[in-house]
Amino acid sequence: MSAPTPKKSPGFLLNLLFNIVIPTLILSKLSEEQQLGPVWALVAALAFPVCFGLYELKQSRKVNLFSVLGIVSVLLTGGISLLQLDPAYIAIKEAAVPGVIALAVFVSQYTRYPLVKKILLNDELLDLHKLQHSLQQKQAEGLFEQKLKHCAYLVSAAFVFSSAMNYGLAKYLLVSQPGTPAFNEELAQMTALSYPVIALPVMVMLMLAIFYLFHQIGKVTGESVEHFLRQ
């Protein structure tokens, strides 16, 4: 009997709905005392991205570092807000998560297990065995590793940008005391703006890293990148 194959992860629209749209609507529309109130509105809003992240982990049947960090980040936001700590802690947390990823990607380049390979060299998209065989035939493994280092710097830069923007957005928007409708409204604004202001530019930077990598695969192997794509 063959092993069960991982199920496909939910689509982009579902991701946007559960992580951005629904939490934003709950925080901005249901935080008044005559509705859910600021505390329960916050709990309800944060429950959606947490449950969605857990569902994604279950569907993929493997631990994804970014999904785990996303869940931890949401739980930290909830904990800081429910404990009514200074909003500055949320800004620090918002900067710390992508900052840790940037540092890990950069430092891992000088170890035996560079994270950029996990991020950009997707075994579901590329036939990595075929790519490795081609690199060995061309005696180009060392050259390809150099190109991967350049990609790692691009990926690290993307997360450094995310870290700075996350911190700046949180510091600018979160000025009210946690546990109040005003704070929830500000958190809703931060959640809504996180996609166009932060996530979209980071996605563009990561796509540039992928395009650069694909271009270098063609140059180093002498083969079209389509040759290594899985059917």
Task: Give the model confidence (pLDDT) of 61-108 as tens digits.
Answer: 766 667 777 788 888 888 998 888 999 999 999 999 999 999 999 998
Q: What b/e readout covers 23-37, taking b as 16+ CB neighbours within 10 angstroms?
A: bbebbbebbeeeebb
CB 98 within 8 A of CB 166: yes
- H helices of 115-140, in order, are 115-120, 128-138
- Reply yes or no on whether the pLDDT at 4 is more than 60: no
Query: Whole-model pTM?
Result: 0.81
Place of tokens 């600018």: 172
Structure tokens at 116: 């950029």
- Comparing CA positions, the residue from 213, 198, 15 lying closest to residue 122 is 213
Average pLDDT over residues 148-165: 92
Distance separating alpha carbons of residues 169 and 201, to the nearest angstrom: 14
Distance separating alpha carbons of residues 161 and 221, to the nearest angstrom: 32
